[in-house]
Amino acid sequence: MAKICVLLCFILLAASGFANVSGSETKGKKVGIYELKKGDLSVKFTNWGATIISLVFPDKNGKLADVVLGYDTIKEYTNDTSYIGAIVGRVANRIGGAQFTLNGTHYKLVANEGKNILHGGLIGFSDVVWKVQKYQNEGVAPHIVFTYHSADGEEGFPGDLLVTVSYTLLGDKQLSVKMKAKALNKPTPVNLAQHTYWNLGGHNCGDVLSQYIKIFASQITLVDSHLIPTGKFASVKGTPYDFLKPKAVGSRINKLASGYDINYVLDGGAGNKLKPAAVVYDKKSGRVLELSTNAPGLQFYTSNSLKDVKGKGGFVYEPHAALCLETQGFPDAVNHPNFPSTIVNPKKPYKHNMLFKFSTKAPYAS
């Protein structure tokens, strides 16, 4: 049944650019659309960037809506510059100066944001075709597994890396995301992130400034004017970054230059067990997103750079049209010995888990 569904997707969407992607990086590789459905939760993916392209679930009145930003065609995803819905890596976020030294060897990376590197470089994991290793849209845990072999020297990073991302629907409206990476021959930094843009009112409902968020973090990593960490930490208490108690996203956003784009140091640290990271609540629709993770950090980003981006159904996305909740290792960790290490070696694989729980049960009074 799963194979039939994929074949139908290729046939129905070929005319709109959803079947094959032209260009040297994707020559001869097919790109498909894959759906997982369990109860009244439906999620669609593409193997271009292992990307979430839609997530639909009902509001408090039973009305369905797609709560993630995206595009109508795969061609638009291949031209995207905002990492919408994609897995980003080999190293998510920024590395200052696009360089680092590891075990005495200096590595110069491919800069793509001034002198720095962002989300893996000019051609990161969001801009490649992933292999669909498994796809099962039936049973108690529908799932899809994407894999990608990142070559030694890709964007300047050392060593071959085998990356796996698994998306699984669990229980009542839950989405599990498990990211794994294995260094095949050399130590290398790895920091993967899931870069979906969320708007619980619906992707086409406007901005998220009235939606409430709680972030389980007492500190942030301070950054310079180029958003590169200084290596220092700061308490969120008494600042616009304090979401230890739920507040509207836009309640203090005017005190910032353009919006939120900062790494939170999650309470509880790193480890194998999941811990709460954030809760988002849209009072109007009643929709709730609860996120837990085993990662030490969370990049909270209010889509500040989106401007006149034509999305699904022709709707135009503007700044603050959504928020990103990117659980991660700390940015530029490879250049800060006091940050949790992001170095992976053949004997030490990378494991990063996320669990999204969706509901219409108010998590707190707003």
Q: Which parts are annotated binding residues for beta-D-galactose?
A: 93-94, 195-197, 261
Q: CA–CA separation, 189 vs 163, rounded Å?
A: 13
Q: Specify whether the CB–CB gap between 169 and 42 falls below 8 A.
A: no
For the chain, give the number of residues. Answer: 366
Q: Specify whether the CB–CB gap between 132 and 146 falls below 8 A.
A: yes
Q: CA–CA separation, 215 vs 320, rounded Å?
A: 18
203 is catalytic: no
Q: Specify whether the CB–CB gap between 290 and 152 falls below 8 A.
A: no
68, two tokens: 């993630």
Q: Specify whether the CB–CB gap between 315 and 203 falls below 8 A.
A: yes
Q: CA–CA separation, 280 vs 284, rounded Å?
A: 12
- Residues belonging to the binding site are 93-94, 195-197, 261
326 is catalytic: yes
63, two tokens: 């009305």
- Cis previous bond, 287, omega within 30: no
- Going by the DSSP 8-state scheme, the letter that residue 31 receives in this structure is -
Q: Specify whether the CB–CB gap between 125 and 88 falls below 8 A.
A: yes
Q: With CA atoms as reference, report the closest residue to 18 among 7, 32, 8.
A: 32
Per annotation, catalytic residue among 195, 203, 336, 352: 195
Contacts of 341 (CB under 8 A, 6+ apart): 333
Per annotation, catalytic residue among 35, 154, 155, 326: 326
Residues classed as catalytic: 195, 326
